[in-house]
Amino acid sequence: MRRAAVYHFADGAGPGAGLADALGLPGQMIDVRRFPDGESLVRVAHGATTALLFRSLDHPNEKLVELLLAAAALRDMGAKRVVLVVPYLAYMRQDMAFLPGQAISQRVITQLIAAHCDGLVTVDPHLHRTPSLQAISPELECAYVSAASTLADLLRPDLVPGTVLVGPDSESRPWVESVARPLGCPVIVGEKTRFGDRDVTLTLPGIEQVAGQRVVLVDDMISTGGTLLHSAAQLLAAGATGVEAVTAHCLASHDDLARLKAGGIERVRATDTVAGPTVAAAMAPALAEAIRGTWGADL
Ligand code: R5P
């Protein structure tokens, strides 16, 4: 049996193979057959003692069951260690019951993963009030990768002097500062109140400094794009000469991206944690480094 291998699904074939290359490990596609009634039959062809199971969890309701089936199949094939590599980890924003009776999805999904896997690697999980997922499931060994330096590298080549980096809400502060620091850019951080999926209000203290300057909006994720649309409207009204956006995870639909363009956001660039037209940078090198740092002795 192989000592270690990367297993990926057809929907993540490019980034999955990229991770295998970056680690110098064999990569293997997991075979999935969909039955007419919607169930999935998952099959792995060869086992490995340490199995790195790769899948991003955008559209999680469809993908999660197959991922857990694959983890179980890898164990049955002899894996002593199953490490889930999930570039985008869904269900992290609901970290408390905001209304009585709501499920705390962050806890449920973490416990589900911990029941089937030994480790978890992910990029910028939305853990603003939770120090680590190990606080939820201590037995789950976790490694977190930040996309901040990847996004700074993306911005560096054509950065216009004076560009202001804007984080739309207080949760984004450490994140936008990490992107701005290596670039030497000034930062503005907003205050956001959310009323609904697309309904937010924002204030941007210090917005007057964007007059005559370019702005890059920086957020950990774009879901509907509502946060960025509201931010861009205010920044352009305040005299910004141009607005673009970078993010770790872009979940926005085609229509949402069109709305961002119509709202004056010239371009949106993201990492490849979620497939789509905004992908401009690969996270494989950073993921490989984190995996080596935590499980290197097993590879
Ligand atoms: C929220 O805390 C996140 O950091 C993002 O600002 C948010 O998820 C973006 O959502 P949307 O694109 O739907 O406004």
Q: Which atom of ligand 1 is nearest to the CA of 197?
A: 13
In a shared domain, residues 126 and 160: no
- Write down the pLDDT at residue 51: 98
Q: Is 63 left (phi over 0), alpha (psi -120 to 50) or beta?
A: alpha
Same domain (yes/no): 67, 127? yes
Contact 249, 278 (CB under 8 A): no
CA dist., res. 260 & res. 52, Å (int): 36
Both 170 and 87 in one domain: the answer is no
Residue nearest to atom 10 of ligand 1 (CA): 223
Kindly tell me the sign of the dihedral angle through the C-alpha atoms of 134, 137, 141, 146: negative
276 and 287 inside one domain? no
Question: Do 70 and 218 sit in the same domain of this protein?
Answer: no
Q: Which residues are 52's β-sheet partners?
A: 6, 83
Q: Is 124 in the pocket of ligand 1 (CB under 6 A)?
A: no
Do residue 159 and residue 132 come from a single domain?
Answer: no
Q: Is 222 in the pocket of ligand 1 (CB under 6 A)?
A: yes
Structural domains counted in the chain? 2
Residue 254 and residue 212 in one domain: yes
Same domain, 45 and 142: yes
What pTM was estimated for this model as a whole? 0.95
Give the pLDDT means over successive 10-residue stretches in the chain (299 positions). 97 97 98 97 97 98 96 98 98 95 97 97 93 94 97 98 97 95 98 92 96 98 96 98 98 98 98 98 98 96
Residues 118 and 155 occupy one common structural domain = no
Q: Which atom of ligand 1 is nearest to the CA of 200?
A: 14
Tell me which of 94, 173, 219, 260 to substitute to probe ligand 1's pocket, judged by most ligand atoms within 8 Å of the beta carbon: 219
pLDDT at 87: 98
Q: Which of 253, 252, 250, 264 is nearest to 218 (CA)?
A: 250
CATH number, domain containing residue 92: 3.40.50.2020
Same domain? 98 vs 183: no
Q: Tokens 């976790």 correspond to what residue? A: 142
Sign for the CA dihedral angle at 274, 144, 166, 183 comes to negative
Whether residue 271 contacts residue 155, with contact meaning beta carbons closer than 8 Å, is answered with no
pLDDT at 200 (0 to 100): 92
Residues 8 and 138 placed together within one structural domain of the fold: yes
Q: Which domain holds residue 127?
A: 2-146+283-298
Residue partners of 182: CB distance under 8 A and separation at least 6: 149, 152, 156
Q: Are residues 24 and 132 in the same domain?
A: yes
- Cβ of 272 less than 6 Å from ligand 1: no
Residue 243: the pLDDT is 98
Cβ-based neighbours of 124, under 8 Å, separated by 6 or more: 144, 145, 146, 147, 148, 175, 220, 221, 248, 249
pLDDT of residue 291: 98
